[in-house]
Structure 1
Amino acid sequence: MDRYGLICRSFYENPDVTQRELASILNLSLGTVNKLLGDCLEEAFLMTDMDTGKYLLTEQGLKYLEQFKVDGAVITAAGFGSRFVPLTFETPKGLLEVFGERMIERQIKQLHEAGITDITIIVGYLKEKFEYLIDKYQVKLLYNPEYATKNNLATIYHARELFRGRNMYLLVSDNWIRNNMYHKYECGAWYSSVYMDGETSEWCLSSNKKGRITSVQVGGHDSWVMYGPAFLSRDFSNQLIPLIEEAYHQPGTEQWYWEQVVVDHIKELDFSMNCQPADQVYEFENLEELRLFDPKYQNHSDNAAMQLVAHVFNVKEEAIHNIRCLKSGMTNQSFLFELDGKHYICRIPGPGTEFLINRKEEEAVYKAVTPLGITEHILYFDGKTGYKIAQYYEGARNADAKNPQEMAACMEMLRKLHHSGVTVPHTFRIRERIDFYEKICRGHEEMLFEDYPAVRARMNELMDRLDTLERPCCLSHIDSVADNFLFLPDDSLRLIDWEYAGMCDPLIDIAMCSIYSYYSQEELDHLLEEYLQHAPSDEERFVTYAYAALGGFLWALWAVFKSMEGREFGDYTIVMYRYAKNYYRKIVSEDLLKL
């Protein structure tokens, strides 16, 4: 930190500041402050008023300050905020209100008060929610395309040109800053620091007598920690940006924080602690902390899911605790919560799912299979919205698709379902589903699949042949992925998530289970024999292979549609499309079409 610059800035902001106040502001001894004041007088940065004896900032001092003028600010706001579910299912974390004011807006206004108006917000998750800030505060938005798969090292990499050659604040949208800590001039690169008593998992700092950070370690006790905003001077950024670029392109850094780059090169970088008083900077770690800080969130979160849970259980929102995000599925979002010592899951349908899934049909399936005792215990289901609240089974685990004994148990459950005689009014028609997804993907499937027309014709051939067979029709799960089979601590088994279930050929469940598990053809054959409890006939092999091909084709189209919505699932699209082609070839090579 440039101490002469800090002295000049102090008199620029408050001409009446005293030596003792300076010592407190700059966290320096009174003797050091007096020495600096003397130096500034010699450099003609300050002069003494002959009448009052006060120090005055000179034109030379103002000129000296110009090198430290802040050019702008970058606010990162791309992440999901999983520890704030269910609020962040609807609203990005930075747009949550604290005492009636959105956290990101509070920081923008504080920056404006300091004369900083060149502000760029890095967006990703629910990026459209931030668009109004362009009109309200004349900010700019920059999209981070990797927000869902990488940590904030990638965020800073994509924003790196905003820092190059400039003095810039780096803020996090979900920080709450009590008193304005921003300035027109900053005299060296720093990271906001607060003191934490006791054990902490934060990044703990060591520094020399001048406040320069000398080392950082994750976790410690009774320590100053990295906490809140940072300031990157142009000199600091010119050193940092090449290091950011190098780290970004290294394998294995996808989940790095940008601060890790600083830590790895801390001896080369002049980076100081900007020590803040207690209760000045807040980084809410989870919804529980926010509820303690702002009483509004205890009973009036204005969140549909929280209000629903409170209504279903006839409690106030404050009774709902230990809220945690569960891994988001391909279609829905879910969160875990605790109430009266018991744990439950609330499922929230993902955006657009009402267009894809008939929730009334799903509700009918749950009602039909409840007497079988094979599904999760449902406490609430809304056939209009698809909201579902179910018991959470402590210690339960998903079936292992590579474990033969576990898959044998799963096949036994499917046989129980298929032979139960339970029926529902609706049918799962794979031709209708393929036609539907093709229609909503029109114009995109050819772009992704060069040979789509030829493969589509082969799928038609399989469906036409299936239509000629007099096959059994029973209630089938359709989404029989291994993850939907739950082994409870007592080794009993449950089959969950019946969104696609309907009347269909039972062998579709064997085919779907196989392709969802990325099985080879040999593994599919083994699973089919396990299910049938005998060697399959040629017809049974054809039907299973045909549904494996058609299922792959269907889910490839589904993934295309999801990508149009901005959701990506890695190589899932390619794997499913390969199943469509490979199982068709298998059927042809074994003359199974001619049965």
Structure 2
Amino acid sequence: MKKTEFDVLMSIKEKGQCDADYLARILYKPLDTIEESITALKNGGFILDGQLSKKGEAELNTHRIDNAVILSAGMSTRFVPLNYEKPKGLLVVKGEPLVERQICQLREKGIQEIIIVVGYLKEQFEYLAEKYGVILIETQEYNTRNNHASIWAARHYLKNTIITSSDLYFEENIFQTYAYDSFYCTVYESGKTAERGIETDENDKILTTMYGDKCYDTWVTLGYAFFSTQFSSRMIEILEKIYDLPETASKFWADIQDDYLEELYMYAKRCDSEIIHEFDSLEELRAFDDKYLHNADSQIMHNLCCLLAARENNIIGIESLKKLKYSMFKFRCKGDTYICDVNPDEQEKVNYQGRVYYQCHDFMEGSLKLFKMDKNIKIGGVYYTDTENELMQLYDYSKDFKDYHERSLPLCAAENIISPFANLPLNFGFQERYIMNNTYSFNMDDNFIGCEKLFPFYQKISDVCGRIFGAKYTDPRPFTGMHCIDMITKTICKPGSKMMILDKDYGGHASVRPVVERLGVKVYDAPYDLEENDLDYRAANEMIKKLEIDYVLLAPSDLIKPLNVEQIDTTHCILLWDCSQIMGLIAAGLCSNPLKTMKNIILFGGTHKTFPGPASGLIMTNEKYLHDMMETEINPKYLRHSQMHQKISLLFALIEFEKYGSQYMSHMIHCSNYLGSRLREKGYDVADVHGQISRTHQIFIRCSKEEMNTIYNNAYKLEVTLNKKHKALFYGYGIRLGTQEIARYDWNDAALDTIAEVLIHLSDKDINIDEVKQLIHLLPPKTISYTFSDNIVNQFNNLSIYS
């Protein structure tokens, strides 16, 4: 039995429903995949009349989960100050102790044998053995090792085993009675995340994991996991081999899985992010259960309130100082910053991050001591005030950011730089001002006095977009390209309607599916022709007609040729065309503009990629009925303040592009093809379509997984901004480059030759970092071209509110 068929069978058992639409939604699978699985289960005799047959019940029972292990040994050092008094798993959240809630949820799924691994404050868990009949086992290494030590302590119980942590809170009972194979719960995280991101195949098998800056708009592991008997056996074997190695001590069990992912494979169990809650700090718990804002049931918090004549909700910004001393934490109260030591010694002051905190309170019996930051701190003979220190930090952060982007080699296809001319309005004071409605719905009765001074800018944006894009109706109110998708779908799409999208494996934006599915829209993947790097339009049009598709939403992130969307038959559907990546090419007339030739189309996108404007959004259409659906709904229903400084900066960029955009885009495409050719000559497998490497700003390098990771890791060290990819569009693995920013500097072929040499070095496992840095230093200065002269810019400078 295939995994999806098993998941369908189990869901029918648990949910009592055999509705394909419902199952597709909760399993995060395409409807046709679910329908095929249901048909296969019926034909195999596993389903009868929408319910499990005896054969189906028997099949599930061969996959029954044996037991569960709850990890509760850790010290939860970030959860100060509550962790000094009670293990996090015993905190009462919304009326229930966290660990007891999970025990009850496991028992509801028929899992009777429950093992709890304890360590820190272990005695506080002892009542659970009598109350629930759970098994308590101890690890004594909780303070020197990470949670792999708890897995090791429970190794004799590992078989078909759920592994969960006592500090998790599940809104719904997402534990399972049966499991097909090992899995980890995952949720979708929009934007940047510090969590452990994953990439999977079509069956949800985890192929690779990533962390930190590499994670953006992705599924991440969060919640509990399930070890199959095979997984458990192999994990124990690996732990036996590496347990005593010094580098193992700090690893989570998931880190060990990452190191042996091919042997310790898992599948992703996709869950709604609103169901799984993990609290890393008291501040996060307060946001979930406001009881903890006012009464955390903590003697330490009570004592602090007495000492400072404060309420608990006055104590904020709580931060562990475990690296300084385990018993110390920092917090703010009523504008002052303190350090608290719950196990104080004789010291009278604390030095931390260049600041001096002096003892200000000594609690009775010496059980708690407070230190307060001196407002005038002497460092190296110079006095710095608290505020000045904050300013110094802000200066350092800003300088670090600025210096990084001055040094880096910018080859990220998702970013661009705007000119001093387009930057001008950001200093004119527009940001703080309001205007309601858009160009076509403006009226003073709905507005603030003074907004009429902003209206001409909106009108001018419409005028310029009419000239550049041929748009009758323009809406610049959204903040980003993704915000455009959000605003458009909320205002024109109806729950239950059908939508065709571009799958992420073929370059589609990964956020589209979860955004539209949450609106109740049924999603279908557009058929794709890999050889053409484009949709299979014949099959797509047949699918639109057969399934009565209402909307086609195409949001390509990866493309070396513009999609030929004009081949889509929009007689009975609406095309939503996210042209973020090629907006500049359309505006320059270097690729076709479907807005001028097609009916029932909305053209939109982010304005900071090939179009070199601020990070903003732009919606355009020539259909009055579509315009009317959005015009009065976006504002004020879904958006109140439209960030006028962004909009006016966008207007300046539009006017700049009208004059210089064609030259800029032509040079950008030249850069893509010249650089791609040089890389191909030097041995890289550079993709092309019918012999042309690129008709956009992007270059695709196809390579093995190992080479991809080598290139990426070396690029990270050398501050070369690029992306690695794992999708069918790259025939497996690859690197995506973008030339839009280097083209904006008008770098010539000699500079591109140097860039090619740098990129070739990135595939070298034994790269000489210093040698390649010297190559990067040979590149020309980053002087923005294709813009108005300094004389023009200087005419506006005296308008700045800061001048």
TM-score (norm 1): 0.59
User: Higher mean Cα deviation, 334-343 or 195-204?
Assistant: 334-343
Q: CA deviation at 1:488?
A: 5.9
Q: Quick check: 1:380 aligned with 2:381?
A: no
What does 1:554-565 correspond to in 2, within 5 Å? none
The equivalent position to 2:51 in structure 1, one of 50, 56, 60, is: 56
Could you tell me which residue of structure 2 aligns to residue 294 of structure 1?
A: 289
8 Å CA contact retained: 1:395, 1:489: no
8 Å CA contact retained: 1:328, 1:334: no
What does 1:505-524 correspond to in 2, within 5 Å? none
Could you tell me which residue of structure 1 aligns to residue 372 of structure 2?
A: 391
What letter corresponds to residue 38 of structure 2 in structure 1? Answer: L
Could you tell me which residue of structure 1 aligns to residue 496 of structure 2?
A: none
- How far apart, in 1, do the equivalents of 2:243 and 2:294 lie? 43
Alignment deviations for residues 89-145 of structure 1 (CA, whole Å, 9 cap, x no partner): 000011112112111111111111111121111111000010011111111111011
8 Å CA contact retained: 1:247, 1:261: no
What does 1:311-326 correspond to in 2, within 5 Å? 311-326=306-321
Structure 1 residue matching 2:184: 3-state secondary structure: strand
Alignment deviations for residues 399-451 of structure 1 (CA, whole Å, 9 cap, x no partner): xxxxxxxxxxxxxxxxxxxxxxxxxxxxxxxxxxxxxxxxxxxxxxxxxxxxx
Consecutive unaligned residues of structure 1, counting only runs of 5 or more, are 48-53, 351-356, 367-374, 397-486, 493-595
- How far apart, in 1, do the equivalents of 2:263 and 2:83 lie? 39
What does 1:24-35 correspond to in 2, within 5 Å? 24-35=25-36
The equivalent position to 1:265 in structure 2, one of 251, 254, 260, is: 260
> CA 1:262–1:173 in 2, change beyond 3 Å: closer, same or farther?
same
- How far apart, in 1, do the equivalents of 2:206 and 2:235 lie? 15
Could you tell me which residue of structure 2 aligns to residue 9 of structure 1?
A: 10
Structure 1 residue matching 2:196: 3-state secondary structure: strand
Could you tell me which residue of structure 1 aligns to residue 174 of structure 2?
A: 181
What does 1:310-349 correspond to in 2, within 5 Å? 310-327=305-322, 333-349=327-343
> CA 1:57–1:198 in 2, change beyond 3 Å: closer, same or farther?
same
Alignment deviations for residues 60-106 of structure 1 (CA, whole Å, 9 cap, x no partner): 22221122101110010111111111111000011112112111111
- How far apart, in 1, do the equivalents of 2:59 and 2:36 lie? 18
Q: CA deviation at 1:169?
A: 0.6
Q: Quick check: 1:93 aligned with 2:109?
A: no
Structure 1 residue matching 2:328: 3-state secondary structure: strand
What letter corresponds to residue 390 of structure 1 in structure 2? Answer: F
Q: CA deviation at 1:489?
A: 5.8
8 Å CA contact retained: 1:169, 1:231: yes
Q: CA deviation at 1:188?
A: 1.7
- How far apart, in 2, do the equivalents of 1:395 and 1:303 lie? 33
What letter corresponds to residue 349 of structure 1 in structure 2? Answer: N
Q: CA deviation at 1:226?
A: 0.9
8 Å CA contact retained: 2:67, 2:112: yes
Structure 2 residue matching 1:201: 3-state secondary structure: coil
Alignment deviations for residues 41-71 of structure 1 (CA, whole Å, 9 cap, x no partner): 3332223xxxxxx223222222211221011
Could you tell me which residue of structure 2 aligns to residue 529 of structure 1?
A: none
User: Higher mean Cα deviation, 84-93 or 58-67?
Assistant: 58-67
Structure 2 residue matching 1:337: 3-state secondary structure: strand
Could you tell me which residue of structure 2 aligns to residue 110 of structure 1?
A: 105
8 Å CA contact retained: 1:326, 1:335: yes
Q: Quick check: 1:199 aligned with 2:203?
A: no
> CA 1:490–1:201 in 2, change beyond 3 Å: closer, same or farther?
farther
- How far apart, in 2, do the equivalents of 1:226 and 1:20 lie? 25
Could you tell me which residue of structure 2 aligns to residue 22 of structure 1?
A: 23
Q: How many residue pairs end up in the alignment?
A: 373
> CA 1:489–1:259 in 2, change beyond 3 Å: closer, same or farther?
farther
What letter corresponds to residue 203 of structure 1 in structure 2? Answer: R
Q: Quick check: 1:76 aligned with 2:71?
A: yes
- How far apart, in 2, do the equivalents of 1:340 and 1:489 lie? 29
- How far apart, in 1, do the equivalents of 2:381 and 2:333 lie? 23
- How far apart, in 2, do the equivalents of 1:177 and 1:489 lie? 52
TM-score (norm 2): 0.44
8 Å CA contact retained: 2:119, 2:142: yes
> CA 1:144–1:45 in 2, change beyond 3 Å: closer, same or farther?
same
The equivalent position to 1:159 in structure 2, one of 151, 154, 160, is: 154
> CA 1:153–1:37 in 2, change beyond 3 Å: closer, same or farther?
same
Q: CA deviation at 1:293?
A: 1.4
Which structure: larger Rg?
Answer: 1
Alignment deviations for residues 143-175 of structure 1 (CA, whole Å, 9 cap, x no partner): 011101011122212212211xx2111001111
Identity percentage over the alignment? Answer: 33
Structure 2 residue matching 1:379: 3-state secondary structure: strand
Q: Quick check: 1:39 aligned with 2:34?
A: no
8 Å CA contact retained: 2:337, 2:372: yes
- How far apart, in 1, do the equivalents of 2:6 and 2:309 lie? 60
What letter corresponds to residue 20 of structure 1 in structure 2? Answer: D
What letter corresponds to residue 184 of structure 2 in structure 1? Answer: Y
Q: CA deviation at 1:384?
A: 2.6
Q: Quick check: 1:281 aligned with 2:241?
A: no
